[in-house]
Structure 1
Amino acid sequence: MCAMPEQEPGVAPRARPDASMSLLTTVMDNTLDEGYAQAAARRREAGRSELPRTARAKLWLAGGLVLAGLVVTLGAAQAREAAPTVAREREELLERVHDGTRQLDDLQARVDALRSDVDARQRVALSDEDAERAELVALLAGASAVEGPGVKLVVDDAEDVAGTAGGPRDDGFAQTGRVRDRDLQRVVNGLWQAGAEAVTVNDQRLTALSAIRAAGDAVLVDNRPLVPPYTVLALGDPDGLLEAFDATLAGHYLTTLRDDYGIRVERSTENGLRLPAAPSLTTRSARPLPPEPDAGTLSHPEDPEEVTAP
């Protein structure tokens, strides 16, 4: 840009040669727009105020991490302290269960010994005919152990119980591939119908008062929980008993369970089975037999007085 000539004193100022180019002069003198300057100033101010906010955020983050670490550490310490307590309580519970099982076995052995003693005393007290009759009654009632030939049925759950599909046996409480109480009921009733003389389920002797029920997924026989596989023993003619059982509705039902639901069934004939006595039998009522009249004493229905025969 050309320099302006000095003006003489006392002379009116002369106009600038570039007065007609005021716009270009303004552009040349102020190359940066005021809006940019204001924006730059705001950014500088924001930068100065952003630094404290960032520091506060980092401080809060550090505090949160420290708090989280403290919570995890306390949780781990409490879990470490509680683990021995839980293990000790579990061991105590298992020990109580084992003690209760041993006591139950001892009591059952004592009951069996007392039952054997009662049977021996009964045979001594009764005559031969009465003893045979008592043994027959005890056999039919399940109060005495029995031995002889028979059949063996082993019924077990399907291999993949959880993978079986729903069907008419699915009532929402268990899978269709699981053996249930009503399945064992039908099998046992079918064996009785086929002519079985005595039946046990997992060594539990069945009588006229026995009940097969369910508690959740467990099967109870006379209130004793059983676990699969369920071994059913039945005394009788082996071949005839199996043939008669297959002809019953229970035999067809068991075949359907095996073919349609995958329930495993094993059958075999046995020559020497021993079925224990039923442990749950108790005497409900008893009365003595009337005394037999003496051979030397006669009683006439019309004469209340006894007459002694010569």
Structure 2
Amino acid sequence: MPMSDGPVGGPADNPPSPASPPAWRWRLPGPWRVGTALVLLMGSVLLIVSENSSGGTDLRPGRYNDLASLVNNESRRVKAQQEQVAALTAEVETLTAGVQNEEADETRRQADQLRGAAGLEPVNGPGVTVTLSDAPIEDINALSTDDLNPFVVHQQDIQAVVNALWSGGATAVTVQGQRVISTTGIKCEGNSVTLQGVPYPQPYVIAAVGDQTALFQALQDDPVVQGYQVDAADPEISVGWELTLENLVQAPAYDGLLDLAYAEAIN
């Protein structure tokens, strides 16, 4: 508790002699002292709440100066979570394999037969690679219009290429090296595309394993891909388009989440 700044106990007209030892007494804190303590306490509580809420991440997303920093940060976070999922999945598979009964064995045999079709096994072979990219940045900066849509790659452009490759008989497709399966969602968020929870900047590399002639023809026949190629050939737009025949395309096994989330109608 704070103490008074001077001696007390004598009348104002009869102060104690200098030789007398000063007398002190405790004084109750004033309102401003109580307020200071409360402010300090509240500040400490807010710091603790912020630390718990952030989970070790930055609560001020505005500190990111460019898209690349944001993409790299999110990619590292998702990669760490994917590694955790992989470890838990391996543990579950080990525990499942330890269950020995006829019904469980038959279910495992059926699941193993479907792994390839579900994209859970790696696939290698000849195929094609398609690379899509935005128009050159210097061309975009020189534009006199605010409509940038024709000059950048959109999710529908990527989806059109992927769908054309499937229709051409592709046995496996990857986007940015990630295996695409029936539940994969390709979403455009700002100037990046999110695939299986991971944001990727352009250029976008789409690869497929399959008969090269059939894949090439399927790309030429798709109307959305045709429209994109027209824009790529237009010098005033010049979005990137590159098609390469590959002797070997390596499509890794899908290693993402397999659980499905869906809505149910209310009766």
TM superposition score normalised by structure 1: 0.49
Aligned counterpart for 2:135 among listed residues 155, 158, 175:
158
Contact 2:157 2:225 survives alignment (8 Å)? no
Match of 2:244 in 1: 268
The CA distance in 2 between the partners of 1:100 and 1:220, in whole Å, is 10
Q: Please show how residues 196-207 of structure 1 align to structure 2 within 5 Å.
A: 196-207=170-181
Deviation at 1:197, TM superposition (A): 1.8
Asked whether the 8 Å contact 2:78–2:198 carries over to 1, the reply is no
Cα distance between partner residues in 2 of 1:143 and 1:259: 38
- Paired residue for 1:147? 124
Deviations 1:193-233 (CA, angstroms, capped at 9, x unpaired): 22212211112222222222222222222332110110001
> How many pairs does the alignment contain?
188
The aligned counterpart of 1:214 is 188
Bigger proportion of residues as helix: 1
Distance 1:283 1:221, change over 3 A: closer
Change in CA separation of 1:103 and 1:264 when aligned onto 2, cut-off 3 Å: closer
**CA RMSD for the aligned pairs?**
3.7
Work out the CA distance in 1 between the residues paired with 2:73 and 2:227: 41
Distance 1:174 1:283, change over 3 A: same
Q: Can you list the C-alpha shifts for 1:132-174, whole angstroms capped at 9, x where unaligned?
A: x6445222222333222211111111112233576xxxxx664
Which of residues 159, 170, 176 in structure 2 aligns to 1:185?
159
Correspondence 1:1-150 to 2 at 5 A: 104-112=78-86, 115=89, 131=109, 134-150=111-127
C-alpha distance in 1, partners of 2:255/2:74?
Answer: 18
- Following TM superposition, the consecutive aligned residue runs of length 4 or more in structure 1 with deviations greater than 4 angstroms are 97-104, 113-128
Separation in 1, partners of 2:75, 2:196: 17
2-structure distance, mates of 1:267, 1:239: 12
How many Å separate the matches in 2 of 1:112 and 1:281?
Answer: 9
**Which residue identity lines up with residue 170 of structure 2 in the other structure?**
A
SS in structure 2 opposite 1:139? coil
Which amino acid in the other structure matches residue 143 of structure 1? Answer: L
TM-score by length of 2: 0.56
> Given that residues 82 and 256 in structure 2 are in contact (C-alpha distance below 8 angstroms), is that contact kept between their aligned partners in structure 1?
no
Query: Structure 1 unaligned runs (5+)?
Result: 1-88, 167-171, 286-310
Cα deviation digits, residues 244-287 of structure 1 (max 9, x gap): 321222441231231132011111122222222333332459xx
Q: Determine which structure has more spread, i.e. the larger CA radius of gyration.
A: 1
What residue in structure 2 maps to residue 259 of structure 1?
233
Distance 2:173 2:116 in 1: 12
Inter-CA distance 119–200: structure 2 relative to 1 (3 Å threshold): farther
Quote the Cα distance in structure 1 between the aligned partners of 2:230 and 2:131.
Answer: 15
User: Distance between the aligned counterparts of 1:277 and 1:258, measured in 2?
Assistant: 32
